[in-house]
Amino acid sequence: MRDSAEKSLIIDDIINAKEERDHLQKKLIDDNPSNQFHRGHVQYKLPVSITTDTNQQTILWYRQSDVRQCTSLKFRVVEKYTIPYIGKEVQDRLNSTWCPIKHIVKLQIGVPILEHFIKQNSAHLNHILSTVEKLHIGYESKFKHIKETCIKTLVTITPNLRSLIFRGVTLESAHLTAICSIKSLRKVEISHTLNILPGFLTVLCSGLPLLEIIKSTDFKISDVPKPYRSKIKKLARVYMEETDETLEFPNLQQCLVTLGDLEYHHQPDHCIFINKLKSIVLPATLSRIIIRSDNLPNANNYLIDIGFQYIKDAIHSKKFNKEIKNQQIYYTINSFDKYLRDSHKST
């Protein structure tokens, strides 16, 4: 009888302990008011940096130059299969409920994957791309041509688009018309392309009412239409060797000037430009002029008066830069070795 009673007490204690644990679980976790809210789709316990790096490596590994070069040389036959597969992989990731990427502001993407996205009739995918404000479109391997219908579709998919960059992409006049349909654009950059369309600046300036920043392969300052110069705030890679035009841009804030000595067998003309600069009334809003030059200019009295000096470029170890604020000049020296030789001779 005694053993039977002790056994019953032990069983009762076990049952009571289990009931207490269940009650505690229900009180602290299951029925806890602090947990009664929408946590979102993802509950990552890993740091954000690790999660971001993991997604970048799994999606963008094929964009690395060395891997792409090997793919181009050794797996040309597989290339036709790779791009659609990668595009589907990226699309599946973005459409996944568990994808942490829900608010994309800046997007860098290749032509084939962008066109693959455009073809998809996915409301979820369109919602994700609707927040993009800066879009960088580059070529992938042999894919250098983009359809103008793809650009026109960006009007509805990316209503907040402010910056559009084409790098290495072949553009025709129809593409410029499609670009002008995106009225929200404030910046357009076209670089590393072989076909420079004549009069493309006129088309862009007249078709984009909010355009403020233009960056392209070397173009003359006279190519910018005078009626639209008042709204331009930034210019890049302006070519001023064969023009008498001046910087008649009342709201210009930054200008990058490409001199003739960047071309093969050209004589340095930075001295000519500096002399011209003396007679130019710079816009009151201008904060910086950037001059790219292969030759180290002489520190004459004019340069000394405006505080001309050199600083080292942290990004390009073989370049020396000079940067001065408030209507001053920035020089890029493309040959650090030459600078050292000239300095050694002068000493």
207 shares its domain with 223? no
Query: Chain centroid to CA 326: how far?
Result: 27
pLDDT value, residue 335: 35
- As a whole number, mean pLDDT of residues 241-260 equals 67
Are residues 276 and 291 in contact, defined by beta-carbon separation less than 8 angstroms? no
pLDDT tens per residue, range 19-31:
888 877 776 666 6
**Is 314 part of any domain?**
yes
183 shares its domain with 252? no
Helix axes 79-95, 48-60, angle to 10 degrees: 150
- Looking at the predicted structure, is the pLDDT value of residue 108 above 80? yes
292 shares its domain with 157? no
Q: What is the signed CA dihedral for 157, 138, 217, 282, rounded to 10 degrees?
A: 50
Are residues 232 and 224 in contact, defined by beta-carbon separation less than 8 angstroms? yes
**Is 332 part of any domain?**
yes
**Is 303 part of any domain?**
yes
183 shares its domain with 94? yes
The CA-atom distances, in angstroms, between 161 and each of 106, 135, 167, 239 are 10, 7, 17, 29
88 shares its domain with 187? yes
Domain of 162 in residue numbering reads as: 48-211
Kind and range of the H or E run holding 205:
helix 200-207
pLDDT tens per residue, range 145-192:
888 888 888 888 888 899 999 888 888 888 888 899 999 999 998 877
Q: Which residues of 82-98 are buried (b: 16+ CB within 10 A; e: fewer)?
A: ebeebbeebbeebeeee
